[in-house]
Chains A and B, each alone.
Chain A
Amino acid sequence: MRVTEHPILGTYQKGRKVQFTFDGKSMEGYEGEPIAAALRAAGVTTHRYTTKKHEPRGIFCAIGRCTDCVMIVDGRPNIRTCITPLREGMRIQTQYGIEAKEI
């Protein structure tokens, strides 16, 4: 859920609303916010599945250090979604190992 009004910060400065897709499904977020923030606000928690054990992973450090939140963005794998800004029309896919499709 998004925080709309905050006792200290007031309102959040956000970019314009943009459309993107997550595994083919159309979603909305704000331009410039991290992909991970837009996904979390849209209810997505699993960003990828590990190669060997097929375990889910999501946001863990949120500052680009741990690489747990990597996904396939516009066809490129291993994109750190917590620090990569959302742009209009981005194609975001769950990452399986380092692939887009379920192995």
Chain B
Amino acid sequence: MVRYDLIIVGAGPAGLSAAIIAAKQGVRTAVFDENERPGGQLFKQIHKFFGSREHRAKVRGFRIGEQLLEEARECGVEVHLNATVMGLYDKKEVLVMADGETHHFKADAIILATGARENFIPFAGWTLPGVMGAGAAQTMVNLHGVQPGSRVLMVGTGNVGLVVSYQLMQAGIQVEALIDAAPRVGGYGVHAAKLARLGVPFYLSHTIVKAEGTDKVTGAVIAQVDEKFQPIPGTEKHFDVDTICMAVGLSPMSELPAMAGCQMEDKGGAVPKVDACGETSIPGIFAAGDAAGIEEASSAMITGQIAGIAAARRLGYVDEEMFEAETDRLRASLQKLHEGMFSPQNRGRNDFTETDEGYPISQSLLHKGYMEDQEITRYPGAVSGKSGVHPVIECSQNIPCDPCQDACKFGCIRVGDEITRLPCVNEEAKCTGCGLCVASCSGQAIFLVDETYDEEHAAVTLPYEFLPYPQAGDKGVALGRDGREVCEAEVVSLKINKAMDQTALLTIKVPREMAMTARFFKKKEA
């Protein structure tokens, strides 16, 4: 039996982060993961992450995965892949299945970072091939480059449903609609707005009634629901789709702590009871990341580090003073992500009518996925009627992120230390039109607008992450926030460089009165 100081189960964001911080203190650490590749679900996250610089904001998830693997290698973490942890027994004995054989390991501390699995809702036809998890579809396109289908209905408008829908569109798949039984969009409004301006409709207060087909999905029927979430007869709508994706939440994978005899509790699924460091009721066994309570990858990396440093202290590698300093730093970092209307303590709440600052929240955004034109200038990041180029920030909810203020070297944009605050545009500062703020916004909510581009036209620069790229001189139509064609448009330029990390800046010229309306471009078919 091989012994380690610390065994970590799961090589995702939490497990790798725990391993890195512990190994840096000299803790002999091994990570076991059942998958062929490390990184957990990070490598299918191709969007830019939220948070602040310390949370690796505006870095795409798969690049964060690469960074973590590199750091883990540098500090000598042993990562065992294709190694399924099947059992966690008394005295921290770990049973691992690899190569068809079982192996025993032992450690003085254990960190369980096993992540989560997708939830599903049953409906008529839900077992047909073509009905799958949103995460499953995301895995197929982003990891394996295979389209799960060609036309998709997405069930669920939380961040997973919104982000995966957008990524399916990026891979050339048509998302016909998003539906949600709740009356309001559950995820970030900025993610919904990205889809709405592509013309994807949202059906809130709707549920899926059935998947059609005998051997595979050939269609879907949805219906409006009443206050008790029951379908209202006569409101059915049919969609010609071959794929139905479910994004209806995640459940922690907590079999191992339950098996080890840790005290469990229900926090949106069974999780081990943990203290502020992630330590379970059994001293020396910790849980981190989604396995300790569903959040997202940015906070999983922090709870992983907290558990890692706490395990190092328990093993005697870290003194009290350093432990206090590190955990204070990490908790402060975690707290930044836990502010605002989307914080874990506000989970399930969607009754906010105004932001922390007192700005009204757009009901159109919550019900249809986009803000109405006249609502935009309510917010401190969106000014119109200026001459020259300037940013228009269509950010209307308290989301924890601030890359926009780092992006602008000229002081145009200010969020402040509390990163959930809405960004403010300083009208005194001079915008040079560099567009780095546009590319830095993980929510793709920043546009550059020049209402005095020429005598008749305004120029609008928008983030563009689709192929093929339009070229200067291309003619087409501008789409509004609702995805409807609003006017003719011509491409002025398309810029992309390394700092923008695959977010191209597309500048179009539109009739001047459309400066605050045109938000996407569709090339005219030849």
Contact = CB atoms under 8 A, between A and B. Distances in A.
Most chain B CB within a 10 A radius of its CB, from A8, A12, A57: A8
B216 A45 contact: yes
Nearest to B464: A7
A61 B132 contact: yes
B145 A8 contact: no
Interface string A26-51: 00000001100100110001110000
Interface in B164-216: 170-172, 215-216
Contact of A3 (B131, B145, B215, B465): B145
B121 to A, nearest CB: 13
A59 B145 contact: no
A41 B146 contact: yes
A62 B135 contact: yes
Contacts of A3: 141, 145-147, 171-172
B46 interface: yes
B466 interface: yes
A65 B118 CA distance: 9
A97 interface: no
Nearest to B115: A63
A2 interface: yes
B35 A62 contact: no
Interface in B21-76: 34-36, 41, 46, 60, 62
B184 to A, nearest CB: 28
A58 B144 contact: no
Contact of A7 (B140, B145, B465): B465
A21 B140 CA distance: 21
Nearest to B171: A3
A63 B148 CA distance: 14
A40 B148 CA distance: 7
A61 B118 contact: yes
A2 B145 contact: yes
Contacts of A1: 146-147, 150, 172
A69 to B, nearest CB: 9
B171 to A, nearest CB: 5
B136 interface: yes
B128 interface: yes
Given A7-B467, A8-B60, A45-B130, A61 B144 contact: no
A52 interface: no
A6 interface: yes
A83 interface: yes
A37 B146 contact: yes
A3 B144 CA distance: 9
A74 interface: no
A68 B216 CA distance: 14
Given A8-B465, A64-B34, A58 B216 contact: yes
B303 interface: no
Given A7-B467, A8-B170, A62 B216 contact: no
A6 B145 contact: yes
Contacts of B133: 60-62
Contacts of B142: 9
A77 interface: no
Interface in A54-103: 55-65, 68, 82-83, 85
Contacts of A68: 127
A60 B171 contact: no
A6 B117 contact: no
Nearest to A33: B144
Contacts of A5: 467
Contact of A47 (B34, B128, B129, B502): B129
B60 to A, nearest CB: 7
B129 A12 contact: no
Interface of A: 1-9, 12, 14, 33-34, 37, 40-41, 45-47, 55-65, 68, 82-83, 85
Interface of B: 34-36, 41, 46, 60, 62, 117-118, 127-133, 135-137, 139-142, 144-148, 150, 170-172, 215-216, 465-467, 502, 504
| Cβ-closest 4 pairs across A and B | A58-B129, A62-B136, A12-B145, A37-B144
19 contacts: A1-B150, A3-B147, A3-B172, A5-B467, A6-B145, A7-B170, A8-B502, A37-B144, A40-B147, A46-B129, A55-B127, A59-B132, A60-B131, A62-B135, A62-B139, A63-B117, A63-B135, A63-B139, A83-B36
